[in-house]
Every structure is written in structure tokens, then in C-alpha cells.
Structure 1
Amino acid sequence: MGALLTTSAFWFTVVKWAGGLYLLYLGIKLLRSGVQIGGIEKTAGGGSRWKLFLNTYLVTALNPKGIVFFVAFLPQFVTPAANVTQQLWLLAITFVVLATINATLYALFAASARRFLTSPRAQRRFNVVGGTLLSSAGVWALLAKRSV
């Protein structure tokens, strides 16, 4: 797709206009959206937290992008003279532990910020700021000139 857009001015313009108009549409839609009274409802779909955790873990572990990342990134930090398997396991486990800590901290932050983020005032601000940014990006994309 990138090669086609690089060589064809027509298709580049078509994609640019489609993307710009879509961003403009999303921005206007967000600016016109109302505020939910009573905050955000609980997510649908029952089940325990362990089931949710297991599902999330499986989706993440089987994600091809993650696998490609490990295959391409981790070998750069391996010393060929030492036990390669041990080094790869150590690096992978370190990454998973740090990613788990990171996700846990995000969850704790989100839980503590939930009351603030679900207030009508915050929702209105998010809608205005988000809608303005999306609309501005759409206008920018529509007015952008193609560099040769």
C-alpha cells in the first residue's frame, strides 16, 4: 500500500481526502455528542476477573506482533558464548514482569481517576478537546500538500 501511495498521486490524494474527511466527521460527531448522566455503565459480559485475565493473557501471548518483537528484539541482548536458552528466558521473564507491573499501575491509576473522568464536566471537556483535535487533524490532512 505504501509503495502504491508513493508512486500514484491520484491514489495518494484519494486516501488523503478519505482520511481527512473521516477525521473531520469523527471530530464533529464528538463535538456534538452529549454527556452521559450517571457516568459510564459497567461493561457488559459476566464472568470472573480470572477469566478476563486469562482471556487477555492468551490474546496477548498469541499476538503475532508480540512474537515477532521477541524474535527480533531479544537476540540482540544475548551473548553467544553463554547459555542462549537461559538468557532468552531471563529476558522474556523480565519483560513480562515489567509489563505486568506497568499494566497494574495503569489499572490502579484508572480506578482512582474514574470518578473524575466520568463527571459531566470532564466528559464535556474530553468531547470538546477531542473533537477539536480530530477536526483540526482532518482539516490539516485535507490542506496538506504532497512533498515530492
Structure 2
Amino acid sequence: MLAASATLCTILRYVGAANFIRLGMMLWRSEAKLEIPRDTTSGKDTRSMFRSAYVVTAVNPKESVVFIAVLAQFVSPGQAVVPQLVLLGTTLLVLATVSVAVWAMAAGKMWVRFRKQGTLKLVNRLGGRSMICAGFHTAAGRRA
């Protein structure tokens, strides 16, 4: 039974590796084009988008686990817990907001570059190359 499962895992690894290589080659060969929707406004204002992103992040279970695991390390047991958690949580929220804002500004600046044909071709080639390399790396992997 164990030998059969090991063989099955090896077969699945090779199938996955071949799929990586196939997808990488498709991306490498693909036409570099960016489809821009005609209506770039979805009717949402900035507050609505921010509120939506906040709610999605707040209800994400992975975020909750990280939040609890990270904050618990910085709570001093000899002091009141709630004020410490409020301060740490607020600090985390402010840092996350700044991070999202920086990424949004960077994406806005990069938008101009990604509209150029040469940049899109480069991204396709780099992405395709990465997937092909991942395929070969997966195929070359050995069992532990």
C-alpha cells in the first residue's frame, strides 16, 4: 500500500511538473496584450472600496489567526490585557493601512508601464520562464 501511494505521488509530481512547463510555454508564447475595460468606473467610490477591502480582510480566518498569534507575543501578563491589545491592534491596523496605500500608489504608477507592449512581453517571458523552471524543479524533486 505504501509503495503504491509513493508511486502515485511520483506520478502526480510528474503530471504537475508537466503542467507547469506547459503553462509556462503557453505564457511565453502568448500575445502581449492588455485588455482595458471601456468603463473604468464601477460606480464605487473610494470609501466603499476601502470598506469592502477592510471587511474582507477582517473576516478572513487566516488574518484572525495571525492577529492572535502575533499580538499574544507582545502582551505583558503583569498588566491589563485589553488596553495592550487595543494599542497593539491599532498599531497593526495603521501599519496595514499604510502598507495598502503604498501598494496602491505603486500599482497606480506601474499602470502606465504595463500599458506598453514591451513591458507586457517582458512580464510574459519572465512569468513563463519562472513556471518552466518550477516545472523542472518539481520534476527533479526527490522523496523525503
- Do the structures match in fold with TM over 0.5? yes
Q: Aligned letter for 1:118? A: R
The TM-score, its normalising length taken from structure 2, stands at: 0.86
Q: Aligned letter for 2:105? A: L
Q: Percent identity?
A: 33
Q: 1:103 aligns with which of 67, 82, 100?
A: 100
In 2, distance between residues paired with 1:25 and 1:102?
A: 35
1:83 aligns with 2:80: yes
The aligned counterpart of 2:32 is 35
In 2, distance between residues paired with 1:82 and 1:47?
A: 44
Measured against aligned partners, the alpha-carbon deviations of 1:59-87 in whole angstroms (never above 9, x if no partner) come to 10000001111222211111111110000
In 1, distance between residues paired with 2:82 and 2:119?
A: 50
Number of aligned residue pairs = 140
1:13 aligns with 2:10: yes
In 1, distance between residues paired with 2:48 and 2:86?
A: 26
The aligned counterpart of 1:64 is 61
- 5+ residue gaps, structure 2: none
Measured against aligned partners, the alpha-carbon deviations of 1:125-146 in whole angstroms (never above 9, x if no partner) come to 1111110111111122113222
Q: How does 1:38-49 map to 2 (within 5 A)?
A: 39-42=34-37, 45-49=42-46
In 2, distance between residues paired with 1:46 and 1:140?
A: 45
